[in-house]
Amino acid sequence: MTAARKTSFAYLALAVIWGTTWFAIRESMGPDGFPTMLAAALRFTLATAILVPMAWRARPWPERAQWPWLIVAGMLNALGYALIYLGEREVPGGLAAVLFGTQPLVVAALLFLTRMETVRVHDVASAVIALIGVAIIFADQLAVSGGQAVGVVLVIASVVVSALYTMVIKRHGGRTHVLASTTVFVGVTAVCLWIAAGFSDHEAMPWPLPVNATLALVYLAVAGTAIGFVAYFWLLARVSLLAANVLGFVLPVIALAVDALFESHTRLGPQAYAGVAVILGAVALSQRKPAPTPAA
């Protein structure tokens, strides 16, 4: 398989997998599932157990100078997922995916500040438009309930945190084997989430295990974490940050379609969908290619 086809396959796999994980997160926790932080901790622990045997013989492993950065990235990922899980207690997965779809624009803003990559003018314009969309959604959810408005804020905060860890991995990932770096990253995330669960979750592990929540948890661990992050780290090593984050436009569309089929607890109103349209339009604008420069 050519490099171009491998890259296309990685994009496709991530779009399908991560586009469906938003609904699965809500299914894995709540009254009929696992406690919030425990659900996240179990997900990343199971994923680590899957990755360790495969990564054991992978070479090269991170160099000494890379370990602190991978640990920092894993800690940021734990914080990001803690915010996502807490946010999804209040807002449906499709809406959370749309809000998270602003990540390419946050990445563009951070790249502009750090000068890691060249950022175009319309990337900045897209970020401003997306913020308008977020404000529309926030106002709509605030009108519904304060809890849903808080959920919007939590997911947006997770976007900033996740953008930071992608920049860390891109800059300090080096030539480490993708299985090795992903295993360290996911393992650190699991440890941090167990600490969070110890402080925040007061409910016991449900027994017998709830069928739907357990199936969702296994799917999140195997596909959403073990396969998903290996594919994403592989992609980060081969394309620019802005190119990797083009997924931000595809994932919300898939997540909204999944919600339309299966979500029964929370429905979005016309104003929220207007905000969704503004955000998706902003992300689409950020992916527009510049016009070719006329030949002299």
pLDDT for 32-56, tens place per residue? Answer: 889 989 999 999 999 999 999 988 8
Q: What percent of the chain has pLDDT over 90?
A: 26
Q: Is the pLDDT of residue 288 over 90?
A: no
Q: Stretch 102-125: mean pLDDT, rounded?
A: 69
Q: Is the pLDDT of residue 242 over 70?
A: no
When mean pLDDT is compared across 89-98, 106-115, 118-127, the lowest value belongs to: 118-127
Three-state secondary structure of the chain: CCHHHHHHHHHHHHHHHHHHHHHHHHHHECCCCECHHHHHHHHHHHHHHHHHHHHCCCCCCCCCCCHHHHHHHHHHHHHHHHHHHHHCCCCCHHHHHHHHCCHHHHHHHHHHHHCCCCCCHHHHHHHHHHHHHHHHHHHHHHHHCHHHHHHHHHHHHHHHHHHHHHHHHHHHCCCCCHHHHHHHHHHHHHHHHHHHHHHHCCCCCCCCCCHHHHHHHHHHHHHHHHHHHHHHHHHHCCCCHHHHCCHHHHHHHHHHHHHHHHCCCCCCCHHHHHHHHHHHHHHHHHCCCCCCCCCC
User: What's residue 88's pLDDT?
Assistant: 87
pTM score:
0.81
Q: Is the pLDDT of residue 85 over 90?
A: yes
Q: Is the pLDDT of residue 180 over 60?
A: yes
